[in-house]
Amino acid sequence: MNKKNMNIVSFFSGAGGLDLGFQQAGFNVIWANEYDKEIWETYEKNHPNTFLDKRSIVNIPSDEVPECDGIIGGPPCQSWSEAGAMRGIKDKRGQLFYDFIRILEAKQPKFFLAENVSGMLLGRHSEALENIKELFRNAGIGYELSFDMLNASDYNVPQDRKRVFFIGIRKDLEFTFQFPKPKFKKITLYESIFDLRNNVLPALSQNKTNGINCVIPNHEYMTGDFSTIYMSRNRVRDWDEQSFTIQAGGRHAPIHPQAPKMKFVEQNVRIFVPGKEELYRRLSVRECARIQTFPDNFTFYYNNIAAGYKMIGNAVPVNLAKFLAESIKSQLLSNSIKTNNQTNKKIAV
């Protein structure tokens, strides 16, 4: 196996957090697919060497996808979400998993990685989940499937974020991917965003972006009321803790750690500490990007600030993606060396 030229293609790419992690691990992301037009500018400007296909995966013939060593992606997760309607595979967005598998079966790369929310582990989805696993295992000549739920906070990411990962190795390579145990220390909010505590701007009227007026790109936060659901629990993590999950909606963004933890009134009712209300603001788009481990030179392009939060919240944290990519690459190369050695021994005999 060539160590330098492992090419991958990406589906449901979003802003490209998963793609960036694989690039940082030394893979070439040669082609990507994203259907949401609000994301196109962000993806193209931050991934200038990757061709972006803007069609829905449903409309992409497999023979128009480049030959590759790996396929990665996070099929839309809204239909599996514990907070959503939980329709699972009956939802059209859940069925996009099948198109991901259709492409996989046609291209037969050495490996694939698919990411999704932990909600798909709920009992009501067990039949659909087992069906998807079998489809992965039987795609083409088949894949040895590894499946696990990971918390990003264990992988050099300052955030509690549980997601499930499917990683498959083509059966003719004759090994199964092993999820390595992480050895990272927990990263705190202080370490990740303390230097951003100044120069932040509230969004403009109707939550429009401040654009180039931001001293630090994207360092602006959504304004507006907080819902009763939001106020039903504490939304503040201290500087010495990890962040709550960065979600895809700005209205659900965690509160900045400058504020004291919210005061309990009664079950499902909390308030901001009286006299400290001015400290309670949502994390900025840039702060959320930092917590998702996007580098500062990764700029998000949007007119309405909600689109910025959505891109970031839907992404796979870059550092977690990099760790998994490095693990896949290492195990593929180790297996290749082992196979070559065994072949050489047979020839020598």
**Class of residue 97 by CB neighbours under 10 A (exposed 0-12, middle 13-18, buried 19+):** buried
Q: Do the beta carbons of residue 79 and residue 115 sit within 8 Å?
A: no
Active site residue 77: yes
Specify the amino acid at residue 88. Answer: G
Nearest CA to 290 out of 168, 193, 197 is that of 193
Tell me how many degrees the CA angle 56-304-270 measures, rounded to the nearest 5.
Answer: 105
Nearest CA to 39 out of 27, 52, 29 is that of 52
Tell me how many degrees the CA angle 48-20-128 measures, rounded to the nearest 5.
Answer: 120
β strands within the chain, DSSP E: 7-11, 28-33, 51-53, 70-73, 111-117, 143-151, 162-170, 201-202, 220-221, 263-266, 269-271
**Cα-Cα-Cα-Cα dihedral sign, residues 230, 232, 238, 243:** negative
Q: Do the beta carbons of residue 78 and residue 18 sit within 8 Å?
A: no
Q: Which of 68, 77, 214, 288 is catalytic?
A: 77
Catalytic residues: 77
